[in-house]
Structure 1
Amino acid sequence: MTDVVNTAQAEAWNGYEGEHWASHADRYDAVNSGFNGYVLDRVRADDRVLDIGCGNGQLTRLAGERGRAATGVDLSGPMLATARARAADLPDVRFEQADAQVHPFPDGEYDLAVSRFGVMFFADPVAAFANIRRALRPGGRLAFLCMTALAGTDLGAVFGALAAYLPQPTGPDGSGPTSFADPDRTKAVLGEAGFEDVECTRVEADQVWGRDVPDAARFIGDWGPVRHHLGMVDEATAARAREALTEALRPFAGPDAVRLRGTAWLVTAKRS
């Protein structure tokens, strides 16, 4: 990886955060894979697909199998190692370590750019999407998933239980992971980056967070932002936060798993 402007994110995804996602690839896929179909339905048989923020590569692999070929790009060395290992028998799927905001993609190389919750952290989103647009052929398409606001959602209720003890681990609605929670902002950013026919459709899917409540609570507690904030308070406060997290998850426990109903925006657009 050469050109990087998103240095804070590069540091995180090549440190604990990326290592945790790589070592728990199946668990994170269990959280997010219910949304795959919304993006994969956009892949045509002859598409060359670019997956932005591909992580451990599940969506890239599936897009490559459905289309002509797929390339996944990500900042995270640990996750890309997992992605490459899992795609070893797929000759039309490849991965690059790159900052999509500045990476010199070949002009017009791809028919479709996709992402599953990998586009919310750009330092300059207009520049990033303009660079992605350049990588698309004229008339090329964009389809990505991003988080909605947390207020009123199952995940918002779980994180809200931590509020008495810790800051919101994702930051305020409209920032960080929810930076594209407002469709008007999303449309403005993509329009400025040179996309047209931008549509934002709210979609839902079940997200599996653990086999039971203690397992789910441990997993969420070890997720980077929650772990970071737990480390900033004293032991007694951290213990109370973990207890509150455990109790908040109980209503979502079923006989075989803890499931939260996840919400997202499916954003689609075309290169103008």
Structure 2
Amino acid sequence: MGDQRDGFDYDAELRRYQPRLIEAMAVGNRDTVVDIGCGTGQTSRAAAGLATDGSVLGVDVNPVMLERARRLSDGLENLRFDEGDAQVYPFPQGFSLAISRFGTMFFADPVAAFTNIRRALQPGARLVQLVWQSGDHQEWAHAIQGALGGTVPSGGAFSLSEPSTVDGMLTSAGFTGITVTDVREPVWYGANPDAAVDAVLALQMGSGAATQPDALDRLHQVMTKHNTDDGVWFDSRAWIITARTAG
């Protein structure tokens, strides 16, 4: 069972991105890691499996997902989870690595959040985060919103899509050595068109429009068009953004 926030399986959706992020994280066996917006902890568990002589803390604002994360992580003694908002959470000090898989885009005050994260890191520590590029590069967003008669927003999930903006935020928060890497992988919406439609309804994309019969018909047509032997897939693009603390 994966990260099922709002009834949607994000672990399954992001299965092609996960190995790209793990590679970029480059977790060492002695690393002390904090996972920001950890959800049900898939990336936290991956980090814990690599930091065999270190430790991992997963932080998220959703207590239901954290409870599931704890159940799924039973037996990993170097991994723990806590509820908190990264903007104000009292992080322990001295982490060597901060990571996030699509968990940093919804901060009300990104500079405050990244500053708080930076303060928890030791000198020379790394920050590695995966964020969406703009909605213009997301086939899933255009296809689904088009079927539902909506538009793709510029903020929200895409709030960190502009590299120069993120560079400014991270610099203001005290990070240096910022790099941005383009990654392109398909995202998975379900094993078949019916399941993919159910996934969109679980996400409440399009709000009330998604319950209209004609919208549901258009949505099902879109999912059928993108159906493969391995389920329903859409193109997408993201950034892997890395930075370091001074020292």
User: Could you state the TM-score of these two structures normalised by the residue count of structure 1?
Assistant: 0.83
1:22/1:79 contact within 8 Å kept: no
Query: Are residues 1:141 and 2:118 paired?
Result: no
The CA deviation at 1:206 is: 2.8
Matched length: 240
Q: Identify the residue that residue 132 of structure 1 maps to in structure 2.
A: 117
- The aligned residue for residue 235 of structure 2 is 261
The answer to whether the Cα contact below 8 Å between 2:6 and 2:203 also exists between their aligned partners in 1 is: no
Partners of 1:208 and 1:260 within 8 A in 2: yes
Alignment match, 2:59 = 73
C-alpha distance in structure 1 between counterparts of 2:148 and 2:163, whole Å: 26
The equivalent residue for 1:223 is 203
Q: Does 1:59 align with 2:40?
A: no
Q: 1:132 to 1:241 in 2, by over 3 A?
A: same
Say whether residues 1:111 and 2:96 are aligned partners.
yes
Counterpart position of 2:226: 252
Unaligned regions of 5+ residues in structure 1, if any?
1-18
Instruction: Give the conservation status (yes or no) of the 8 Å contact 2:131–2:160.
Output: yes
Equivalent residues of 2:131, 2:239 under 8 A apart: yes
Matched residues, percent identical?
33
- CA deviations on 1:120-151 (whole Å, 9 max, x unpaired) are 00010000000000010001000000111121
Flag structure 2 segments of 5+ consecutive residues without an equivalent.
none
Q: Indicate conservation of the 8 Å contact 2:148/2:218, yes or no.
A: no
Question: What stretches of structure 1 move > 4 A for 4+ residues in a row?
Answer: none
2: CA distance, partners of 1:131 / 1:113: 12
C-alpha contact 1:157 1:248 (8 A) present in aligned 2: no
Q: Which residue of 2 aligns with 1:156?
A: 141
Aligned counterpart, 2:156: 176
Is this contact kept in 2: 1:148–1:178, CA < 8 A? Answer: yes
The 3-state SS of whatever aligns with 2:92 is: coil
TM-score by length of 2: 0.91
Secondary structure at the aligned position of 1:162 is classed as helix
Q: How does 1:22-61 map to 2 (within 5 A)?
A: 24=8, 27-41=9-23, 42=25, 43-61=27-45
Aligned to 2:188: 208
Preserved CA contact (<8 Å) 1:73 1:97: yes
Determine if contact 2:98/2:128 at 8 Å carries over to the other structure.
yes
Secondary structure of 1:78's aligned partner: helix
Instruction: Give the RMSD, CA atoms, in angstroms.
Output: 1.9
CA distance in 1, matches of 2:137, 2:222: 14
